[in-house]
Amino acid sequence: MSSRTYCCVSASTTSSHATSGFGLHRSHRTERGDYGTHEREWSLRPGSIAGRDGWIDRIWRRLGFWPKFLGGNLRLRPHTETGLTRTAQTNEEGGYTMPSLPVGSYEVTAEKPGFKQQVRRGITLVVAQEAVVNLTLDVGDLVEKVTVTEDTPLVNTTLSSVSGLISQQQIKDMPLNGRSFNDLLVLNTNVNDNRTNTAQGGPAFSIAGKRQETNRWTINGMDYIGTNSQGSANAPNGMSDQLLGVEAVREYNVLGHSYGAEYGKRSGGQVTVVTTSGTNQWHGAAFEYLRNNHLDARNFFSSTEGAPPFKRNQFGGSLGGPIVRDKMFVFASYEGFRERLAQDNTAIVPSAQARQGLIPCYLANPTNTATACPDRGAYVPAPNLVPGILPFFRYWPAPNGPELLQNGLPTGAALNFANPRRPVNEDFGLLRHDYNLSAQDSLSTNFTADRGNRNDPQDNPIMIQRQANGLYTLSAQETHIFSPTVVNTMTFGYARAWADQESTPTEPSAFSF
């Protein structure tokens, strides 16, 4: 029996089997805009920034404004999902920024006495994006309004990193065999699927030509780690070799290289996952997916006449909405995975004669009665046979294939073709809570859990291999806005992954003499 455990607190994870460490992080940044000029100051402590939604995965999410007027007022109209509102004023250079915004759609209003009010709608922020929105006010009465609706996505012009977004629409609409959301990673040109070249299951992607072990996964700003029975996996991996939770994932981004220093710990790709949150409207879903062998073709090497028995059920649901409108929101999701897959198995078992205590002889000597071998290849009683061993042959399946020969002579062994079923059970759950305490403070907590088990049939019918694993993440984040240029984020998080593997007898009595 072997057991491996990985855990980390905040953003501390190592290759040891059990690690932990605390890390509270505060960050401060100032910016000033001069039609595109930025000056940033970072204050980083050991560890990493863990954020929610708008600044998820160690990057500041902001709207940058460079309107051609000074001293104007800007108002970020309600976040269409949660009613979030921000107000600010341009600086002496006519520029302004609004940091730490959740992902989603926004409406920005700019106004100044003596100028027409301008409204910019359809602004959509996604994970790992710094969107720049330029506003220009025309001379006129303040009661007059100019409305501009964005009809194309905002282009990221402030970051040099190579990245690829997997949007909510893609996750919901594109076909996913097994409903594993990480399969969409290959939609990015710099991602290669290496799962066929590795013995371990779960995510195994090479990003920007780097080894899969160098990638880093985060969910809502917290490390999303995994392990296996050998303790060699650092990416999240369920017992079903899927990443469950499609209903819970809003979007995720893949950073290949040239990303900022805020993405630490690993030199490979950075996969940043943002989960769905509650909104001002109650929303949810219930689902059941069934896959079986009715339309499957028979494997060429299969011992059965048709396709082996197969049945997979994936079921669950999600629900989110307001506890207090515009203030407090909750979202929960559950997905269950049940699979019974018959696997083609060829085993070497005792032949029908060997099950009776007979073995083949090879040195024919009819005149020597001591050897009792009248002819080469003939079956004779095994010498010094312990009769008590014969009942144990019942633990081997009866041969249903040809007897194995060596140089044309029997060996006492034969083949058995079987299709033992491999049961796989896995459950995934997520609970998220968001609370807008005030215009300056917000709090978010997230908890995810994934636990599964499976039994792998062995060629040795007496033993069966049992495996189990679990992935857990817990994070809490509080954000306080001191001023338009000073934002403080404090995060606490805990992540743990464990795996067990053991071989047990199918019948303990088989080892009783």
Out of 149, 172, 200, pick the residue that ends a domain.
149
Residue-number span of the structural domain to which 392 is assigned: 346-416
- Give yes or no for a contact between 425 and 418, defined as CB atoms under 8 angstroms apart: no
Which residue type does 400 have?
N
Query: Is residue 408 domain-resident?
Result: yes
Return the pLDDT at 58: 27
Out of 125, 149, 173, pick the residue that ends a domain.
149
Return the pLDDT at 69: 43
Query: Is residue 302 domain-resident?
Result: no
Q: How far apart are CA 129 and CA 253, in angstroms?
A: 10
CATH number at residue 41: 2.60.40.10
Query: Is residue 263 domain-resident?
Result: no
CA dist 511 → 1, 110, 242, 461 (Å): 18, 81, 36, 13
Return the pLDDT at 323: 94
Query: Is residue 499 domain-resident?
Result: no
CA dist 73 → 91, 96, 163, 166, 339 (Å): 10, 10, 33, 34, 58
- Give yes or no for a contact between 164 and 190, defined as CB atoms under 8 angstroms apart: yes
Which residue type does 215 have?
N
Largest CA distance in the chain: 125
> 203 φ, ψ to 5°?
-60, 130
Q: How far apart are CA 312 and CA 344, in angstroms?
A: 17
Q: Give the DSSP H/E element, type plus range, for residue 358.
A: strand 358-360
Q: Are strands 104-111 and 117-125 parallel, antiparallel or unpaired?
A: antiparallel
CA dist 113 → 33, 88, 136, 484 (Å): 22, 16, 14, 21
Out of 416, 437, 457, pick the residue that ends a domain.
416
User: Residue 404: helix, strand or coil by DSSP?
Assistant: strand
Return the pLDDT at 65: 39
Query: Is residue 56 domain-resident?
Result: yes
In sequence order, the β-bridge partners of residue 132 are: 64
Query: Is residue 272 domain-resident?
Result: no
Q: How far apart are CA 176 and CA 378, in angstroms?
A: 57
Query: Is residue 504 domain-resident?
Result: no
Q: How far apart are CA 259 and CA 270, in angstroms?
A: 9
Number of domains in the chain: 2
Return the pLDDT at 314: 95
Q: How far apart are CA 463 and CA 376, in angstroms?
A: 35
Return the pLDDT at 16: 30
Which residue type does 399 have?
P
Tens-digit pLDDT string for the chain (513 aa):
444 443 444 333 222 332 222 223 333 333 333 322 222 222 222 222 223 333 322 223 333 433 344 455 566 555 667 777 777 777 777 777 777 777 777 778 887 777 788 888 777 777 766 777 777 777 777 555 555 565 545 555 555 455 667 777 777 778 787 788 888 888 877 888 876 554 455 667 888 888 878 888 888 888 888 875 554 567 788 888 888 988 999 888 888 777 777 777 788 888 888 899 998 999 999 999 999 988 888 777 676 677 888 999 999 999 999 999 989 999 999 999 999 988 888 888 888 888 888 888 876 555 555 556 767 778 888 777 777 777 777 778 888 889 998 888 888 899 888 888 889 999 999 999 999 998 888 999 999 999 999 988 776 667 788 899 999 999 998 888 887 778 888 888 899 988 888 887 776 665 565
> What's the CA dihedral at 132, 138, 143, 145 to 10 degrees?
-50
CA dist 100 → 3, 52, 67, 81, 86 (Å): 40, 9, 20, 16, 11
In sequence order, the β-bridge partners of residue 192 are: 206
- Give yes or no for a contact between 426 and 451, defined as CB atoms under 8 angstroms apart: yes
Query: Is residue 59 domain-resident?
Result: yes
CA dist 147 → 65, 353, 357, 378 (Å): 16, 90, 92, 97
In sequence order, the β-bridge partners of residue 11 are: none
